[in-house]
């Protein structure tokens, strides 16, 4: 039987609770029309030996219309942008039977683990086949091994 790392499970629960709290707070206290201006693309977040990988589903979005930013404290990664609907397509509609594709501005915030240091210069993002993949490399950790401190003798 595979051993589960409960820290990962707790970290995921923390991120989910943060997202639920933000959504509840915004929808309760903010103007509902303001909150629903944004759609949130589906995303997968996983860890590798090298760092954290975030993959978002952004079909129909161009690289010019996407922004990826990391907060000053390195705890939040924000992906925002706009998916634009072609005017010709909208104008030629004479009736709608089903509309499930969101257009307009989007924003997605990811709470990053606070026990991982991110190499700010090692962040890479690529948009390919409708998927935005963001790779956040870990900062090399300082050695946590114990060591003896020599005591100098004063004359």
Check whether 16 has a pLDDT greater than 90: no
Residue 124 lies in a domain: yes
SS3 9: helix
Predicted pLDDT at 77: 93
Residue 152 lies in a domain: no
Contacts of 111 (CB under 8 A, 6+ apart): 14, 15, 18, 19, 75, 76
Residues 48 and 7 in one domain: no
Residue 15 pLDDT grade (very low, low, confident, very high; cuts 50, 70, 90): confident
The Cα 24–Cα 68 span in angstroms is 24
Residues 65 and 94 in one domain: yes
Residue 146 lies in a domain: no
Residues 133 and 66 in one domain: yes
The residue with greater pLDDT, 30 or 21, is 21
Residues 89 and 32 in one domain: no
Check whether 45 has a pLDDT greater than 90: yes
The percent of residues above 70 in pLDDT, for the chain, comes to: 81
Question: By C-alpha distance, which of 101, 42, 107, 112 is closest to 70?
Answer: 112
Residue 57 pLDDT grade (very low, low, confident, very high; cuts 50, 70, 90): very high
Predicted pLDDT at 35: 46
Residues 32 and 42 in one domain: no
Residues 103 and 113 in one domain: yes
CATH number of the domain where residue 42 is located: 2.60.40.790
Predicted pLDDT at 33: 46
The number of folded domains in the chain is: 2
Residues 53 and 28 in one domain: no
Predicted pLDDT at 4: 62
Residue 149 lies in a domain: no
Domain that holds residue 118: 38-138
Q: What would the pLDDT profile of 103-138 be if each residue is shown by its tens digit?
A: 899 999 999 887 778 888 889 999 999 999 999 998
The residue with greater pLDDT, 143 or 86, is 86
Residue 84 · residue 64 · CB < 8 Å: no
Residues 76 and 134 in one domain: yes
Residues 88 and 117 in one domain: yes
Residues 82 and 18 in one domain: no
Q: What would the pLDDT profile of 75-103 be if each residue is shown by its tens digit?
A: 899 999 999 887 777 777 777 788 888 88
């Amino acid at each position: 039987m595979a051993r589960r790392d409960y820290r990962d499970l707790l970290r995921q629960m923390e991120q989910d609770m943060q997202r639920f709290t933000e959504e509840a707070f915004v929808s309760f206290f903010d103007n509902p029309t303001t909150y629903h201006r944004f759609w949130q693309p589906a995303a997968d977040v996983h860890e590798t030996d090298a760092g954290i990988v975030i993959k978002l589903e952004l079909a129909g979005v161009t690289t010019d219309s996407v922004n990826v930013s990391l907060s000053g404290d390195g705890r939040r990664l924000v992906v925002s942008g706009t998916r634009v609907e072609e005017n010709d397509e909208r104008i030629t509609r004479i009736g709608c039977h089903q509309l499930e594709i969101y257009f307009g501005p989007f924003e997605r915030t990811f709470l990053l683990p606070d026990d991982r240091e991110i190499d700010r210069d090692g962040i890479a993002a690529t948009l390919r086949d409708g998927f935005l993949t963001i790779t956040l490399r870990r900062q090399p950790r300082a050695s946590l091994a114990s060591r003896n401190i020599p005591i100098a003798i004063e004359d």
